[in-house]
Amino acid sequence: MQSIKQERIYLPDVENNPQPCSYKDLIQRMQNSGGEYWQIWHLFAFRPETTMHLARFTQGIMREPAPVSSGLRELIAAYTSSLNECEFCMKSHAAVSSELLGDDLVRNVLRDLESSSLEEKEKALLRFAGKVTRDLPAITLADIDQLRAAGWNDEAVFYTITVCALFDFYNRWITASGVHAVSDEGHRLHGKVLAQKGYDPKLREQHLENTIKVK
């Protein structure tokens, strides 16, 4: 099998020095299969004793039960990433949210939120996430009151703020480190895994192993 060549990230000492962890195993499994993989795994594998806390935090914020569905949280992540022009995160989480909400809806939201068929109540959350990302100093209690008027409680607002803030971080971490987007098919493959298995790298490795065997 011919391996797919991927452009290196900007930090070769990070890319070349993964420490023993599930992310290193994920990288090796995909490299051995010749398939594309998400280069963010290099960042997690470089200092896993620290980044494991980030992975657990991400799993909790994106997947634990909440008033905002997992699909909508993934869409907030993709929308935030599109505003930050982070191609990797936008395509990655668009792929995940497409698995959970449908391709057409996600595509239209990312193209033009206001003309999309997303429910008005949910549009309010994305507008708020956009303001947090682009005009943070302008956020006031009035913005929160608008979300309450739209039918969201404080727990929902908490998750929206946290997803938005988390991906404002990820967008900068990834873009400045030189993590590259993969092919559309590569994003679909890994997006499907994330949608089904969440952010636990061990579960993702098992799923990818089964997928590779089937192929």
The rounded average pLDDT for each run of 10 residues, N- to C-terminus, in the chain (215 residues) is: 77 98 92 91 97 95 97 98 98 97 98 98 98 98 98 98 98 98 93 89 64 45
What is the b/e burial string over 135-156, where b = at least 16 CB atoms within 10 angstroms of the residue's CB?
eeeeeeeeeeeebeebebeeeb
φ, ψ at 59 (rounded to 5°): -60, -45
For 71, 87, 95, 103, 138, the CA distances from 7, given in Å and listed in that order, are 30, 15, 21, 28, 39
Output the CA–CA distances (angstroms, integers) from residue 74 to 69, 134, 170, in the order listed: 9, 19, 13
* Residue 111, CA atoms < 13 Å, CB-side half-sphere: 9
Domain spans of the chain, in order of start? 12-214
Give the pLDDT confidence score for residue 3 in this predicted structure. 57
Domain 12-214 CATH class label: mainly alpha
What pLDDT score was predicted for residue 1? Answer: 38
In this predicted structure, what is the pLDDT of residue 54?
A: 96
In this predicted structure, what is the pLDDT of residue 212?
46
Q: What is the pLDDT of residue 120?
A: 98
Q: How high is the mean pLDDT of the chain? A: 93
List the structure tokens of 171.
Answer: 């967008």
pLDDT at residue 5, as a whole number: 82
pLDDT at 210: 57
